Amino acid sequence: MFRSPLFWRLYAGYVVVILISTLIVGMLISKQVEDSSIREIHHSLAMSSELLAEVAKPTLQHVSQTSSESPYQASLQERIIYLGKNTQTRLTAIDLLGKVIADSQEDPRKMDNHNARPEIISARQNGSATESRYSQTLHQKMVYRALIVRDGERLLGFVRVSLPLTNIDEKLLQLKLNVFLGICFAAAAALVLGFFFANRFLSPLVKMTAVADSISRGDYNQRVKINQNDEMGLLAKAVNRMALSSSQRMAEITQDRNRLAKIFTGMVEGVIYVDQDQRIQHMNQAAADMLSLTVPNCLNQRIWELVRVQELTSAVETALGTGQVVKSKLSKVEASGVSYPNDTEINIYAAAMLDETEKSIGAVVVLNDVSELAHLERIRRDFVSNASHELKTPITAIRALTETILDDDNMPAEINRRFTEKIGAQSLRLSLLVSDLMTLSRLESNESEQSFQLIDFKALVKRSIKTVTLSCQEKNLQLKSDICNDSIQVEADEQALSQLVDNLLDNAVKYTPEQGTLSLELGLGDLNGKAIVVLKVADTGIGISAQYQARIFERFYRVDKARSRDLGGTGLGLSIVKNIAEQHGGSISVQSRLGEGSIFTVILPLCM
Q: Got the DSSP string for 340-399?
A: --TT-EEEEEEEEEE-TTS-EEEEEEEEEE-HHHHHHHHHHHHHHHHHHHHHHHHHHHHH
What pLDDT is stored for residue 317 in this prediction? 84
Question: What does the alpha-carbon distance between residue 261 and residue 282 come to, in Å, rounded to a whole number?
Answer: 7
| Cross-strand partners of 280 | 274
599 close to 590: Cβ distance less than 8 angstroms: yes
Per-residue model confidence (pLDDT) at position 449: 54
Q: For the packed helices 71-87 and 5-65, what is the interaxial angle rounded to 10 degrees?
A: 170
Average pLDDT score over the chain: 77
Query: How far is the C-alpha of 117 from the C-alpha of 135, rounded, in Å?
Result: 10
- Residue 559's pLDDT band (boundaries 50, 70, 90)? low
Each residue's pLDDT tens digit, 38-90: 787 788 888 888 888 888 888 888 876 665 556 778 888 888 888 888 888 88
Question: Regarding predicted confidence, which is higher, 122 or 34?
Answer: 122
CA dihedral 447, 453, 458, 462 (to 10 degrees): -60
Least confident window among 103-112, 128-137, 291-300, 433-442:
433-442
Q: Could you tell me what percent of the chain has a pLDDT over 70? A: 79
User: What is the spatial distance between Cα 26 and Cα 19, in angstroms, rounded to a whole number?
Assistant: 10
pLDDT tens readout for residues 492-530:
888 888 888 888 888 888 888 888 899 999 988 888 878
Which pLDDT score, from 0 to 100, does residue 608 have?
Answer: 55
Any residues with CB less than 8 A from the CB of 494 and at least 6 apart, and which?
453, 455, 460
| Structure-model confidence comparison of residues 441 and 594, the more confident one | 594
Count Cα atoms within 13 angstroms, Cβ side, for 510.
17
pLDDT digit string, tens, across residues 415-439: 888 878 777 776 766 665 666 566 6
User: Please, what are the domains in the chain?
Assistant: 5-171 (3.30.450.20), 266-369 (3.30.450.20), 384-444 (1.10.287.130), 453-605 (3.30.565.10)
Q: What proportion of the chain, given as a percentage, has pLDDT over 90?
A: 2
pLDDT at 446 > cutoff 60: no
- pTM across the whole model: 0.39
- The whole-number average pLDDT for the span 325-353 is 68
pLDDT of residue 433: 62
Give the tens place of pLDDT for each residue, 395-411.
777 877 787 778 777 88
Average pLDDT (573-589) is 83
Q: What is the pLDDT of residues 290-301, one digit of tens each?
A: 787 887 888 888
In contact, 364 and 271? CB cutoff 8 Å: yes
Q: Which of 179, 156, 152 is nearest to 30 (CA)?
A: 179
In terms of Cβ atoms closer than 10 Å to its own Cβ (0-12, 13-18, 19+), residue 246 is middle
**Longest distance between any two alpha carbons in the chain, whole Å:** 146
Residue 569 has pLDDT above 80, yes or no: no
C-alpha 289/C-alpha 266 separation (Å) is: 15
From CA 291, how far away is CA 548, in angstroms rounded?
31
Predicted pLDDT at 510 = 85
Top-confidence range, 31-35, 306-310, 578-582? 578-582
What's residue 292's pLDDT? 78
pLDDT (tens digit per residue) in 233-260? 777 778 777 777 777 777 677 777 777 6
Is residue 378 scored above 70 in pLDDT? no
Q: Please, which pLDDT band fits residue 264 given cuts at 50, 70 and 90?
A: low
Residue 601: band (very low, low, confident or very high) from pLDDT cuts 50, 70, 90 = very high
What pLDDT is stored for residue 440 in this prediction? Answer: 58
Measured distance CA(299)–CA(283) in Å, rounded: 8
Task: Give the Cα separation of 504 and 521 in Å (integer).
Answer: 12
User: What is the Cα–Cα distance from 382 to 469, expressed in whole angstroms?
Assistant: 36
Quick one: average pLDDT of 538-555? Answer: 78
* Rounded (10°) CA dihedral 273, 276, 278, 284: -10
Under the banding of pLDDT at 50, 70 and 90, the label for residue 270 is confident
- Say if residues 336 and 308 touch (Cβ distance below 8 Å): yes
Mean pLDDT, residues 351-376:
79
Given strand 90-95, what is the order of strands in its sheet? 100-103, 90-95, 154-164, 140-151, 128-135
**CA dist., res. 240 & res. 246, Å (int):** 10
Length of the chain: 608
Q: What pLDDT, in 10s, does the model give residues 205-224?
A: 777 777 777 777 777 777 77
User: 156-169 pLDDT, tens per residue?
Assistant: 889 899 888 776 66
